[in-house]
Structure 1
């Protein structure tokens, strides 16, 4: 039996075949279409969901996303405890981006009160998407080595400061629709043909740079930064629904880093992220070189 169970929210963006292989318990976000209709993140394929988004984009009531309620985490924790996995490591999207971390902590306290022998630890990834996914991969590696729960938590909290995420957006209009950016910022970016590159900084999404021109220039800009700070191991590439952009960045990473495609985890954004970022988004996640002692 595993030394501990791993629970995470659906924004980790790991491909389904990896999630299944790692034996994850995934707690989904809710995607709301008005006040009367909602679906769980991951129920629809990215392509099906993107078609649905297109229909809503042309009308009123653009979808919103909601963090999992504590009750969803309680359900996930109890399911593992009842299977004999009373030690649980939970990894969530940044607490500065969502109430998911708060929900998981509340749920952990509730379950530990009902099951006093259980041990439930919650790690804030301080990021999201495949940056969260990289921590989940590390959690599974440590678990499969038979290491204890407290050691896994410590290693993830150390690693999260080294995991970098950059993402290039072809347009900011989805950020405007979802309330994450102002309309004048979108108009300015469109007029100047600017492709924003965003990053996670201290748990919040921040503008990393503005690249004028085509998306290829933004991709080159991201690959430059990966090459400058890449340590070793896997690299993750995540797309909205933009296989051409994914192929472009994968090819450049293999060339510039001297790695094989097998060292790259290729993933698609979850539906909850598509709501905010849109189809034509591509990102890269990697573990950077540790700072050298002075």
Structure 2
């Protein structure tokens, strides 16, 4: 084990066995169904439980970030246990106050407990793919400086595209207007969404039909990664069969050295809805 510990939040959608294998600490966000029901993402509400609940209620769930105190508590626990340096990598600050909470906690601790807080400017396993690569390096004994250098490369080399099955949840959560949602549904438009350099959701392209969307994503990845060795993560909201099929398609086109298929958890699922598929890719190193 190395002298660097990696912290992230539950929106990274990293499978539990991978969290445990790489000793990644995960601070949960919260999901609220009205005023009376609050759950910690991935702790007392799994992805499957969330989507079942979503389908059986008329309540539109809301989400909230962890408090600075939650991050401070986790940082203290890690440091007191092993006196390790800490790198904390989080959901885009344009989408949540999670990064800000982590940053406030790091400033409260000051120089006593060294924490580097990073805005991934991404969501779901687009965070996860970065966290997993840095955690693997840290577990091989890399220094904090080496981990941060690798992290800088990952932030430049990681791409993500989302395909939503319905525009309903984006409309409910204020990401698009009602007219756009109705029009998209009538025309069977499959919007391909991505995150820009600031970490904001934007419409990358609109195509008609799932197959055309997949072909466009593959084309875009070919231009960005070519024959490079890559780590591919597909996160999905109750669309496992489609996720497996898409991974198979990607294996036919690319040199995939690491692949992960995971669930889109309750917090991200609140905003994108069931049927969503997200594809995240980053370059591997020879180290």
Q: Deviations over 1:44-103 (max 9, x none)?
A: 2222110101122xx2x3100111111111111111122123411100011111111111
Conservation of the 8 A alpha-carbon contact between 1:229 and 1:288: no
3-state SS, counterpart of residue 222 of structure 2: helix
Runs of 5+ consecutive residues of structure 1 not aligned to the other structure:
290-294
Q: Deviations over 1:192-224 (max 9, x none)?
A: 1101110111111111100113x2222222122
* Residue in structure 2 matching 1:206, options 202, 205, 215: 202
Give the whole-Å Cα distance in 1 for the aligned partners of 2:156 and 2:255: 24
Residue 125 of structure 1 pairs with residue 120 of structure 2: yes
Q: 1:258 Cα deviation (Å)?
A: 5.3
Conservation of the 8 A alpha-carbon contact between 1:223 and 1:249: no
* Residue in structure 2 matching 1:87, options 73, 85, 88: 85
Query: What's the counterpart of residue 141 of structure 1?
Result: 136
- CA change 1:244–1:124 in 2 (3 A) is same
* Residue in structure 2 matching 1:246, options 243, 255, 265: 243
* Residue in structure 2 matching 1:71, options 69, 72, 76: 69
Give the whole-Å Cα distance in 2 for the aligned partners of 1:18 and 1:279: 23
Q: 1:178 Cα deviation (Å)?
A: 2.3
**TM-score for both structures, normalised by structure 1:** 0.90
Q: 1:41 Cα deviation (Å)?
A: 0.3
Conservation of the 8 A alpha-carbon contact between 1:86 and 1:117: no
Q: Which residues in structure 2 correspond to 1:164-183 (within 5 Å)? A: 164-183=159-178
Q: Deviations over 1:150-208 (max 9, x none)?
A: 33223212320210001111211011222322211101101111011101111111111
Pairs aligned (count)? 281
Query: What's the counterpart of residue 29 of structure 1?
Result: 29
Query: What's the counterpart of residue 100 of structure 1?
Result: 98
Query: What's the counterpart of residue 284 of structure 1?
Result: 279
Residue 274 of structure 1 pairs with residue 269 of structure 2: yes
Give the whole-Å Cα distance in 2 for the aligned partners of 1:104 and 1:64: 20
3-state SS, counterpart of residue 35 of structure 1: coil
Conservation of the 8 A alpha-carbon contact between 1:68 and 1:100: yes
Give the whole-Å Cα distance in 2 for the aligned partners of 1:12 and 1:139: 13
3-state SS, counterpart of residue 38 of structure 2: strand
Q: CA RMSD in A?
A: 1.9
